[in-house]
């Protein structure tokens, strides 16, 4: 049985991030050769064995291969093995009685499709591989790669994306056919393919190999389906019914009893049906040499109506997509794969403002609608070339390009945006139905190339490679040029801050207007070089060691570079085949990791920006929305502010670094059963973030140290990128004029702690692979983890802000850091996931995903104690770790524990000649019990200063009220036909 672990395949090779796989094995026969064939593509290759009887063959297209041991033309044994991308499958020896007895298990495609964590002694890297067929039988999303992380107990799910390995949602990388499709504007999400086009997906939750683009989060790598000599085709329908009490109930509405007003309103929301159609086909264009896989898709329906306190929002969307994937086997040693994919999404979104009643959609009337039409296009082309130069030398090249375009048109151009809020009724009205922003058009494009060469030198396999990615990003937001303004009516008399002094105001009616422009075309570049050796130290031990150098540069809209960061990352991994038969493996990895800085930072700190807000007192509102007797009160902001790019970042800035440690054990238990136990520790040592001179401390230091005329930070909005805990080396016009000078501001003066994020993980997994005699797949995974420190990472989960890597808000003031140490958001101590599918003889099958996750900590934020309105700290608002004037531990508040039961019932009907046609029908239900755990609460304890005193604080009456809940039950119908 022990040898079966290798025979069942899917083992990872040293070459990661590849659309090809490999195989290897051992024979006790002397004077033999090995013939590897794949009838589906006409592939045939004869290789030799070394003095120890070992053989291997890489750069194989995914599929089923026959491996024959021959002596003088006589076949001594034949084995069948399945190869998947990014993996090396081990061939059972002809003398392995266990493998021979279970030969049908090894051959059975239904078996290897359920081997997600094979025992692979050829590499120290640990990963999970999900095949398309297994995922189709489980109640998981059939349209998104993001949801696969839910199947791993080592992940914590965010709003949409996974927090993997203790990292935030913007630190993951996504690949298709080796090309990094991650949306590097923010680092959140990617251009993705529908799962119907994906053959297999690999998930790495930490300690990835040197061949991967460096990241401090997780890696999801998918390989697209390919054609062969066999002609196949099919149709798939993924249908989601509209809102109903049984199949798709509405979410809850939660009311704050102190105010009688909802803090979460979902019970009025309604969603229409959604239907995704896919037609696909594959086969040979030239037998044995050129193959194609083609897919076209359409998604229709998806209309919605949602509500909040101020309006009603309706819309619908439509999607079209197409894929062609060509595979050219130039020779049996050379292949070229080219995939091209294009999508178009079109939607109409309509906004209507409340006119008569707030939070009561069934009792209100609505104003004139404002319509917005969106067109979103994406396209991707990626090519992969592989050449097996000889038995000891392999070369591969990947090149790709992708682009995402967003185009908006509106029906209210030239119409101002004007709202009013009445304190006496708590009603918000939309006086003029313009949009807040001018129509937005932006694009993001990425080009990338990667190449490496692998040289086998006896017991050493040396890999040398490099990669280059260029990101271009165009974004020019502008507020409504016809006017962006609002009224605040029937307010109480009180003190108001005019920008320079306090003034008692008795006029109950105020008006404000807002102007914003900024943006441009931005660019960033990423380069990487890696070198490593996979050394067979002894018969049972492999050591993988090497290093990786990563460089990233960022440029502003004028083409000026302002970040140039490099990191060298050494890594070492060990694989020990304890018993020498792959029945027990011990693996370990130690290494340093970094990740690219997303392009949005260039926009946030490198734009020429106008930001103006003006307040007026008014006596009323004219019928056309213009003010009656407007008198200027105060204003603030800046106009056409161009940052000095030299002052945007500290001269000693270094890129983010995280050290990762991993040790694990895999053991074959008995027929079809295996065990995995692992421990990991991730330690964030450094991060890129921002501090500002809002409180004047940086300027004060410069003026006190020889530059008395220093005007203040010339960087983006008076802020600078730095490494928390390190000194700042500022380059700016310290003495005025046009001469840039440097000055070092020590951290002993700044007082910031180093950024810390530590993640400890202990996990265990028990798996059963499907066989003919035991027709079920089962996987039980449990993880205990602890995430603690003072920094969430590239997404600030604490403050629930948008993904703005490099600008967390944690260091605007020194006082922001007080109380920041403790359990971090996403610190989910217990996570249990059970997945399984049982296959009945009559064609029925039942699949399920059961998940339990303990609650996550929530912080409390409030105003800084003792600060008064109008002061620097007072104007910062509720941005500090204080509640009721005291520092509050991050684990005082916690979300609910979450459990979910997902269930699918399917039926497979084989019919036609040789049962070659298949009709599959599935009903899939997520959150079967309609559990409604609380996933988020209002974290702000104070709402502002008492206007009658300017010093007292008003408590936030909505503090700790519910703002997020578990998604309600949803049902899907899947119909698939293939031949």
Task: Map 205-270 to HEC letters.
Answer: CCCCCCCCCCCCCCEEEEEECCCCCCCEEEEEEEEECCCECCCECCCCCEEECCCCEEEECCCCCE
Per residue in 319-328, pLDDT tens? 999 999 999 9
What pLDDT, on a 0 to 100 scale, did the predictor assign at position 725?
96
Q: What is the DSSP string of 349-372?
A: EEEEEBSS-SS-GGG--B---EEE
Provide the pLDDT confidence category of residue 8 given band limits of 50, 70 and 90: very low
Kindly state the percentage of the chain with pLDDT values over 70.
Answer: 94
Asked if pLDDT for residue 3 goes beyond 60, the answer is no
What pLDDT, on a 0 to 100 scale, did the predictor assign at position 105?
32
Q: Using CA atoms, how far apart are residues 713 and 754, in angstroms rounded to an integer? A: 22
Residue whose token pair is 């024979």:
27
What pLDDT, on a 0 to 100 scale, did the predictor assign at position 886?
87
| Paired tokens of 767 | 């798996």
718 to 307, 562, 643: CA distances (angstroms): 38, 15, 8
What pLDDT, on a 0 to 100 scale, did the predictor assign at position 136?
93
Provide the pLDDT confidence category of residue 712 given band limits of 50, 70 and 90: confident
Provide the pLDDT confidence category of residue 310 given band limits of 50, 70 and 90: confident
Q: Residue 951: which of 878, 865, 872 has the closest Cα?
A: 865
Kindly state the percentage of the chain with pLDDT values over 90.
Answer: 63
Q: Which of 21-35, 204-218, 457-471, 517-531 has the lowest mean pLDDT?
A: 21-35
Per the CB < 8 A criterion, the answer to whether 519 and 477 are in contact is yes
Q: Using CA atoms, how far apart are residues 680 and 974, in angstroms rounded to an integer? A: 38
When pLDDT is averaged across residues 564-587 and rounded to a whole number, the result is 94
Per residue in 357-383, pLDDT tens? 777 787 778 877 889 999 999 999 999
Provide the pLDDT confidence category of residue 7 given band limits of 50, 70 and 90: very low
H or E element that contains 702 = helix 697-704
What pLDDT, on a 0 to 100 scale, did the predictor assign at position 842?
96
Angle at 594 between CA 590 and CA 600, to 5 degrees: 160
Q: Domain limits of the chain?
A: 21-90
Averaged pLDDT of the chain = 89
Classified as helix, coil or strand, 939 is coil
Per residue in 850-908, pLDDT tens? 999 999 998 889 999 888 877 888 888 888 999 888 888 766 788 999 999 999 999 99
Q: Using CA atoms, how far apart are residues 504 and 493, in angstroms rounded to an integer? A: 8
H or E element that contains 704 = helix 697-704
Q: Using CA atoms, how far apart are residues 80 and 813, in angstroms rounded to an integer? A: 64
Asked if pLDDT for residue 100 goes beyond 50, the answer is no
Q: Residue 334: which of 44, 87, 59 has the closest Cα?
A: 59
Per residue in 238-274, pLDDT tens? 999 999 999 999 999 999 999 888 999 999 999 999 9
Q: Using CA atoms, how far apart are residues 504 and 134, in angstroms rounded to an integer? A: 69
Per residue in 388-421, pLDDT tens? 999 899 999 999 999 999 999 998 888 999 999 8
Q: Using CA atoms, how far apart are residues 703 and 697, in angstroms rounded to an integer? A: 10
Sheet containing 43-47: give its strands across: 43-47, 33-38, 63-71, 74-83
When pLDDT is averaged across residues 593-599 and rounded to a whole number, the result is 90
Output phi, psi for 271, to 5 deg.
-130, 135
Q: Using CA atoms, how far apart are residues 678 and 661, in angstroms rounded to an integer? A: 11
CB atoms inside a 10 Å sphere around CB 287: 11
Per residue in 768-782, pLDDT tens? 999 888 999 999 999
Classified as helix, coil or strand, 150 is helix
- Whether the full predicted model's pTM is greater than 0.75, yes or no, is yes
- If one compares 18 and 165, the residue with the highest pLDDT of the two is 165
Pairing of strands 63-71, 128-131: unpaired
Asked if pLDDT for residue 424 goes beyond 90, the answer is no
Q: Using CA atoms, how far apart are residues 535 and 545, in angstroms rounded to an integer? A: 8
CB environment 793-818: b (16+ within 10 A), e (fewer): bbbbbbbbeebbbbbbbbbbbebbbe
When pLDDT is averaged across residues 685-701 and rounded to a whole number, the result is 93
Provide the pLDDT confidence category of residue 496 given band limits of 50, 70 and 90: confident
Q: Using CA atoms, how far apart are residues 252 and 966, in angstroms rounded to an integer? A: 10
Provide the pLDDT confidence category of residue 111 given band limits of 50, 70 and 90: low
> Which fold is adopted by the domain 21-90?
Immunoglobulin-like (2.60.40)
Per the CB < 8 A criterion, the answer to whether 938 and 263 are in contact is yes
Q: Using CA atoms, how far apart are residues 728 and 32, in angstroms rounded to an integer? A: 66
Provide the pLDDT confidence category of residue 729 given band limits of 50, 70 and 90: very high
What pLDDT, on a 0 to 100 scale, did the predictor assign at position 63?
86
What pLDDT, on a 0 to 100 scale, did the predictor assign at position 877?
86
Q: Using CA atoms, how far apart are residues 525 and 510, in angstroms rounded to an integer? A: 47
When pLDDT is averaged across residues 274-286 and rounded to a whole number, the result is 97
Asked if pLDDT for residue 58 goes beyond 90, the answer is no
What pLDDT, on a 0 to 100 scale, did the predictor assign at position 107?
40
DSSP 8-class letter at 541: E
Per residue in 789-816, pLDDT tens? 999 999 887 665 566 788 888 899 999 9
Spell out where 859-916 has E strands.
882-883, 886-887, 893-894, 898-911
- If one compares 9 and 750, the residue with the highest pLDDT of the two is 750
Q: What is the DSSP string of 577-611?
A: ETTSSSSEEEEEEEEEE--PPPTHHHHHHHS-EEE
| Paired tokens of 866 | 């003792």
Classified as helix, coil or strand, 866 is coil
CB atoms inside a 10 Å sphere around CB 742: 12
Is 382 exposed, middle or buried (CB count within 10 Å of its CB: 0-12, 13-18, 19+)?
Answer: buried
When pLDDT is averaged across residues 710-714 and rounded to a whole number, the result is 86
């Amino acid at each position: 049985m022990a040898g079966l672990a290798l025979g069942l395949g899917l083992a990872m090779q040293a070459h990661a991030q590849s659309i090809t796989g490999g195989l290897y094995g051992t024979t006790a026969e002397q004077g033999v050769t090995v013939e590897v064939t794949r009838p589906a593509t006409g592939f045939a290759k004869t290789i030799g064995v070394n003095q120890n009887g070992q053989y291997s063959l890489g750069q194989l297209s995914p599929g089923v291969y026959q491996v024959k041991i021959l002596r003088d033309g006589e076949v001594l044994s034949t084995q069948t093995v399945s190869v998947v991308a990014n993996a090396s499958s081990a061939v059972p020896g002809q003398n392995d009685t266990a493998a021979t007895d279970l030969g049908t298990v090894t051959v059975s495609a239904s078996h290897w499709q359920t081997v997600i964590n094979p025992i692979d002694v050829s590499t120290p890297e640990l990963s999970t591989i999900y095949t398309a067929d297994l995922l189709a039988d489980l109640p998981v999303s059939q349209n998104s790669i993001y949801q696969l992380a839910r199947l791993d107990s080592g992940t914590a799910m965010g709003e949409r994306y996974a927090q993997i390995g203790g990292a935030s949602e913007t630190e993951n990388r996504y690949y298709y056919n080796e090309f990094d499709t991650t949306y590097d504007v923010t680092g959140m999400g990617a251009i993705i393919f529908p799962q119907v086009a994906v053959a297999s997906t690999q998930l790495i939750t930490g300690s990835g190999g040197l061949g991967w683009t460096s990241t401090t989060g997780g890696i999801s790598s998918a390989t697209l389906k390919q054609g062969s000599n066999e002609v196949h085709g099919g149709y798939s329908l993924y249908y989601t019914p509209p809102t109903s009490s049984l199949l798709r109930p509405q979410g809850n509405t939660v009311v704050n009893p102190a105010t009688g007003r909802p803090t979460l309103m979902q019970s009025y929301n309604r969603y229409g049906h959604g239907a995704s159609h896919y037609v696909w086909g594959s086969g040979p264009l030239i037998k044995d040499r050129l193959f194609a896989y083609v897919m076209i898709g359409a998604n229709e329906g998806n209309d919605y109506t949602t509500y909040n306190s101020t309006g009603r929002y309706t819309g619908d969307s439509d999607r079209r997509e197409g894929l062609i994937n060509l595979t050219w086997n130039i020779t049996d040693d050379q292949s070229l794969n080219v995939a091209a994919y294009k999508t178009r999404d079109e939607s109409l979104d309509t906004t209507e403002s409340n006119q008569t009643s707030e939070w009561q959609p069934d009792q209100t009337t609505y104003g004139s609608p404002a319509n917005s039409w969106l067109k979103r296009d994406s396209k991707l082309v990626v090519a992969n070339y592989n050449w097996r130069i000889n038995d000891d030398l392999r070369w591969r090249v990947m090149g790709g390009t992708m682009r995402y375009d967003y185009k908006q048109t509106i029906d209210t151009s030239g119409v101002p945006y004007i709202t009013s809020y009445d304190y006496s009724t708590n009603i918000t009205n939309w006086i003029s139905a313009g949009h807040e922003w001018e129509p937005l058009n932006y694009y993001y494009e990425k080009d990338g190339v990667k190449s490496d060469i692998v040289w086998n030198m006896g017991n050493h396999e040396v890999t040398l490679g490099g990669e280059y990615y260029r990101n271009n990003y165009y974004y020019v937001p502008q507020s409504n040029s016809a006017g962006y303004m609002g009224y605040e009516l029937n307010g109480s008399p009180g003190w108001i801050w005019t920008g320079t002094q306090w003034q008692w105001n008795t006029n109950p009616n105020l008006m404000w207007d807002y102007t914003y422009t900024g943006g441009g075309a931005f660019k960033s570049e990423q380069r990487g070089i890696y070198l490593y050796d996979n050394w067979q130290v002894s018969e049972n031990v492999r050591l993988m060691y090497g290093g990786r150098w990563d460089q990233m540069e960022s440029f502003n809209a004028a083409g000026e570079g302002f970040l140039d960061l490099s990191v060298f990352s050494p890594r070492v991994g060990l694989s020990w085949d304890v018993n020498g038969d792959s029945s027990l493996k011990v693996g370990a990895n130690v290494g340093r990791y970094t990740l690219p800085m997303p392009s949005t930072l260039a926009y946030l700190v490198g734009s020429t920006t106008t930001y103006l807000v003006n307040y007026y007192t008014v006596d009323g509102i004219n019928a056309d929305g213009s003010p009656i007797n407007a008198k200027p009160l105060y204003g603030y902001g800046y106009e056409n502010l161009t940052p000095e790019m030299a002052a945007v970042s500290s001269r000693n800035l270094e890129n983010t670094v995280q050290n990762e440690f991993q040790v694990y054990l895999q053991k074959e238990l008995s027929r079809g059963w295996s065990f995995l136990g692992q421990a990991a520790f991730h330690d964030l040592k450094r991060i890129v973030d921002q501090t500002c001179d809002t409180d004047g401390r940086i300027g004060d230091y410069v003026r006190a140290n020889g530059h008395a005329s220093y005007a203040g930070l010339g960087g983006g909005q008076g802020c600078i990128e730095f490494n928390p805990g390190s000194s700042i080396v500022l380059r700016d016009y310290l003495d005025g004029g046009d001469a840039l000078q440097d000055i070092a501001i020590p951290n002993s003066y700044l007082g910031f702690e180093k950024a810390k994020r530590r993640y400890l993980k202990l996990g265990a997994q028990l798996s059963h692979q499907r066989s003919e005699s035991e027709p079920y797949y089962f996987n039980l995974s449990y993880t205990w983890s602890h995430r603690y420190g003072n920094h969430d990472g590239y997404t600030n989960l604490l403050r629930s802000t948008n993904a703005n890597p490099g600008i967390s808000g944690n260091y605007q003031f020194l006082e922001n850091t007080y109380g920041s140490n403790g359990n971090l958001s996403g610190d989910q101590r217990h996570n249990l996931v059970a997945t399984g599918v049982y296959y009945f003889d009559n064609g029925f099958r039942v699949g399920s995903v059961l998940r339990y996750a303990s609650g996550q900590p929530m912080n409390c934020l409030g105003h800084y104690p003792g600060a008064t309105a109008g002061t620097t700290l007072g104007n910062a608002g509720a941005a500090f770790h204080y509640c009721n004037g005291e520092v509050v531990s991050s684990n005082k508040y916690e979300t609910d524990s979450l459990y979910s039961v997902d269930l699918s019932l399917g039926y497979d009907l084989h019919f036609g000649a040789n049962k070659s046609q298949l009709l599959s029908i599935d009903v899939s239900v997520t959150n079967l019990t309609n559990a409604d755990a609380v996933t988020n609460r209002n974290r702000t304890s104070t709402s502002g200063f008492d206007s009658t005193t300017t010093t007292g604080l008003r408590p936030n009456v909505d503090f700790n009220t519910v703002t997020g809940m578990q998604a309600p039950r949803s049902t899907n119908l899947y119909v698939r036909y293939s031949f």
